Structure 1
Amino acid sequence: MEPLFGLVLGLMLAVASPAHDSCTCATNKWAVCAQEGPGNCTCRLAGSHHPVDCSTLTSKCFLMKAEMIPPKEKRLWRPPQAVSATDGMYNPDCEDSGVFKARQCNQSSTCWCVNTAGVRRSERGGSSLSCSELVRTRWIYIELTHKRSSSAFAVAAVAKALTQLFESRYKLHPKYIAAIKYEPPLIQIRLDQNKKPSWDVDIAD
């Protein structure tokens, strides 16, 4: 589906897939895997050393932390603009479960409160700032574009393909896809998740 539309994601989404016999986590580029005995491939996330289950999504907090590791340590290139900042890339503090801690701080002791997607949801303050709880992310708006073509795709076909992608690749149940609007070459998607059972994927991830 993705090659068909040449989609450019406006939102960073990260997924993991089963580790193969070569002891790699094929779609999680931040995972560092090692063969620990016959048939025992263990993968951990750079930055947190958190064990990676390559059959499920890796939390956004752990992925952001991995992105902030210096290139020499993870042997992957990091964009020069990926610096510690309150409104963009920053090195987050994560709970052991992988969710963001309610309060995040940068190296200058400036702190702020975040939602479950790690986005700032309060005014900046000092190290004494108190964030009582993590603000729940209830909806996400995504914009995609595809390469211009001589003829537009059918709206129903676009909606069906995207719904299948979210379900098969990101394990997101279709009931959380509130709307898909297509005006070539722009595709707009709204995800709504007021309540999330423990077994469902969090749209913030």
Structure 2
Amino acid sequence: MHSACTRVECDQIVVLNHLTENESLAIKQVCFIEDLLVEELTDILVGLEQRISAYRNRYQELEKKRRRLDDEIAMIKKYLELAETLYRVEADKAKLASLSSQIITDEKGIRPLPVTDVTDQSREILLGKSKYVGKSVPEAAYQILREASRPMHAKELLQRLLEGGLQIKGKTPLTSVATSLKRDKRFQKVGPNTFAVMTQELTAVV
């Protein structure tokens, strides 16, 4: 498709070719139509470029969310399977305990059926790895510091938070933890990136 001609070019065509009035009018109409087509096509291309850019950005955002959701789903699935296994084992233990209580003892006495506690490790893993799931960073950190009864560096807090199943958002989790505690009045900064729980007296003053 050749490029659209301008009005000046149309006039030049009319003059150079000594066209009649009807012929010159037809030439000008063709040029006018071509100008409209070019403008329309340009608008369409610009609109499509904008849509492509918007769709690409939205796709990238959703892709990031999907990766985060995949990680959370995998973690929850693991805890669900572990909890279901723990439930079945505990249910079996309850049945054994019920049966053992019905055993008639002789003169020496028969000990109840031994119930091997094979779930201690599973229980510890389940409760430990999901201890802080659903909590905010300040809430979980407050619990950690209260239980430890000592100040902790943000790096150590981050490690315990991750071990407890808490998902830390942001590209720099360590900075996110430190910033969250600085903004919370329940915490006192006692050193470089080191925090402690405010005492009742200090909290009252604040």
**Aligning the two structures, in what range does the TM-score lie when normalised by the shorter sequence?**
under 0.3
TM-score (norm 2): 0.20
TM-score (norm 1): 0.20
Q: Which has the higher contact order (CA 8 A, sep 6+)?
A: 1
Q: Is the radius of gyration larger for structure 1 or structure 2?
A: 2
More helix as a share of residues: 2
